[in-house]
Chains A and B, each alone.
Chain A
């Protein structure tokens, strides 16, 4: 079946540091890939997405590139802020698996001033 593996957290960075959160996947078909963010006590929000190989999703300074050859979708940001502290979830939707969505376990990011 499909699966999503995220870098284990928690991740602690200083403000303005470079962020990478690794995400790799296995899928039966050719999935769409997503990053969601969850702030404390809230629901998830879509951060960015990519639907085909080599697509780069970007939003609010975050980027991720769909790498089919390495089955990866790593999240990056050049300079994190305290307000980026949250839990980040990588997810996929696989049309070959009846379009079912699969989420990673989430990575907690804490940014210190």
Chain B
């Protein structure tokens, strides 16, 4: 079955540690996205990639980094510079930039 996988579903870290969230898709999509969702709120775009080996900052990129070395993979690193990293993180992809997005199941990150 084609889709997007995110791992792990739950992640716990101590303050000051970097952590990498995995996102893999087998839909052969060109574009991939990372969003952050806080309780009771909408989605905020962190980073996006329109094509492999290219990515752009979204609305809240500070304290985050990404890479897009393979078409199917778009990992997100939450660095110690991110002031309030505890949130639900969603990865998505679309066949081309601007098309409907397919979302992964999300990773809930808790930093204490």
State the A residues within 8 Å of B (CB): 32, 34, 36, 41-46, 49, 89, 93-95, 99-101, 103-106
Contacts and interface: CB of A to CB of B under 8 A. Distances in A.
B60 to A, nearest CB: 13
Interface string B65-80: 0000000000000000
A43 B103 contact: yes
A46 B98 contact: no
A93 B98 contact: yes
Given A43-B106, A44-B90, A93 B99 contact: yes
B90 A101 contact: no
B101 to A, nearest CB: 7
A89 B43 contact: yes
B100 A105 contact: no
A43 B104 contact: yes
Interface residues of B, number: 19
A94 B97 CA distance: 10
Given A42-B106, A43-B90, A43-B106, A103 B42 contact: yes
Contacts of A36: 101, 103
A106 B43 CA distance: 9
Interface in B74-103: 90, 92, 97-103
Nearest to B96: A99
A36 B92 CA distance: 12
B42 A106 contact: yes
B105 interface: yes
A101 B98 contact: yes
Contacts of A45: 103
A104 B98 CA distance: 16
Contact of A103 (B43, B102, B104, B106): B43
